[in-house]
Amino acid sequence: MLPHRMFFRPSRDIPNASYIEMVSILMAGKLPIVIVALTIIMLAGFSLSARLDWVIVGLTATILALLSMRFAMIGKFRREMSAGGLSIAPARTWERRYRAVVWPYAALLGLLNFRITTTGDLLAHMLVIAEIFGFCAGLVTRTSVRPKFCAGALMLAAIPTSAGFLTVAANAADGRSGFAYLAVASLIATYSVSSLESVSYLYRTILAQLTAKQQLAGLARLDPLTALPNRILMFEQLEALLHASKTSEELVALHLIDLDGFKGVNDRYGHPTGDAVLKLVGDRLGKILRAGDIAARLGGDEFAVIQVGLRSYREAEMLGHRIVRALGEAYPAQEHAIFIGASCGIALGPVDARTADLLVERADQALYAAKRAGRGKVHFWKSDIEPPAVAA
């Protein structure tokens, strides 16, 4: 990607997980806001100590109000993150809110610098120079994750400041002073534009790191053999579905599946053939499930299916029998027809349990009962007591 193109790249081109983390980076840190506020107060106070200027008073008051809004916004954002994380739509909303505060703040800061520069003395000019370089450096460091946002704020603050020093240069009493102010104006403009290269580099580096992090996180939650969710991801998905079921009239069924006779496949045909059979098991589970249902491999020859949107336990029973039948069909391997079976234990949430750990434990107990009853059985937890059907 060419550096300038990222300033026009839509955020929708960025992977959602990476974009959400970028917004979280953008919204991090209250201390810089406090430091900026104190700097503005010092700068304006010093200028006003020489003479009262109501334009400077108004600009300063407005900037401090925007900084207060930004401070409160970050606090609210952190509370929302702590309450339940952040999805893509709220993340876009938070970025728009942040931009709606910071861009006006940057523009007003540029106007404040212009006013102080064109009406102040040499000492005030020194403070303005220190403030604008500090502001731009902090802005690049903190907001490079959103290049367009960063570049806009940078230009809104730097251009009026540079214009202020150009105005002073044009009205300078002597050539030497005029040259000095012209040099300051040029340096502010040059460093502001050249810092976009740093923004580009930081953005590309952070995006690459976040993308790699998300890919690794995804791989850590997938079974490498079947590409199904592994135990970690299955638990996360089950916990989320059980949480959602608290406000729904629908059931969530957990099917734990153990392959009958699979050890003999490895012993007779070897582990490569056993791996091929496990892949076929994953494929078959995927083909018989409805949209929204989830298949997972928990390890070895143990699989799981999360069935959602149930109105009655009979729907879980029907799927359990379909699973057992599908996995009991022949598996072609090495010019042989390999036959194995499957046993299935089922527990229903929130009827049997309201947490993922307990639901897994009870489905495992049901699976143990199914295996004791013989191969190819489907068994519910507490199957002698029919779970209450949910009203249609």
Question: What's the CATH code of the domain at 280?
Answer: 3.30.70.270
Output the pLDDT for position 59. 96
CB 88 within 8 A of CB 16: yes
Q: Are residues 208 and 237 in the same domain?
A: no
Domain boundary (152, 187, 219) is at 219
Q: Which of 219, 250, 276 is the last residue of a domain?
A: 219
pLDDT for 200: 87
Question: How far is residue 250's CA from residue 253's CA, in Å, rounded to a whole number?
Answer: 10
Supply the pLDDT for residue 333.
76
Do the domain assignments include residue 288?
yes
302-310 and 251-260 beta bridge pairing: antiparallel
Per-residue pLDDT of the chain (392 residues; tens, 9 = 90+): 444 554 545 555 677 878 888 888 888 878 889 999 999 999 999 999 999 999 999 999 999 999 999 999 999 998 888 776 778 888 889 999 999 999 999 999 999 999 999 998 889 999 999 999 999 998 998 888 888 889 999 999 999 999 999 999 999 888 999 999 999 999 999 999 999 888 888 888 888 888 777 766 666 788 889 989 999 889 988 998 888 887 777 899 999 999 998 988 888 888 889 999 999 999 999 999 988 899 999 999 999 999 998 988 899 999 999 999 999 999 987 777 899 999 999 999 888 988 999 999 999 999 999 998 888 899 999 745 444 433 32
Do 35 and 169 belong together in one domain? yes
Q: Based on the fold, state whether residues 325 and 243 are members of the same structural domain.
A: yes
- Identify whether residues 155 and 270 lie together within a single domain: no
Shared domain check, 215 and 252: no
**pTM for this entry:** 0.62
Catalytic residues: 301
For residue 299, tell me if it sits in a domain.
Answer: yes
**Residue 223 CB neighbour total at 10 angstroms:** 19
In a domain, 385, yes or no: no
Query: Do residues 253 and 372 both lie within one domain?
Result: yes
In a domain, 332, yes or no: yes
291 and 364 share a domain? yes
Same domain, 375 and 235: yes
Number of domains in the chain: 2
Which tokens hold the place of 136?
């731009």
Q: Give pLDDT, residue 217.
A: 67
Burial class of 367 by CB neighbour count within 10 A (0 to 12, 13 to 18, 19+): buried
Confidence (pLDDT) at 26: 87
Tell me, yes or no, whether 391 lies in a domain: no
Q: Is position 154 within any domain?
A: yes
- Quick one: pLDDT at residue 209? 83
- Same domain membership, residue 265 and residue 188: no
Same domain for 212 and 327, yes or no, is no
144 lies in the same domain as 102: yes
In a domain, 224, yes or no: no
Both 269 and 198 in one domain: the answer is: no
Domain span holding position 289: 231-380
- What integer pLDDT is reported at residue 135 of this predicted model? 92
Q: Is residue 392 part of a domain?
A: no
- Write down which residue in 219, 243, 275 finishes a domain: 219
Per-residue confidence (pLDDT) for residue 17, from 0 to 100: 79
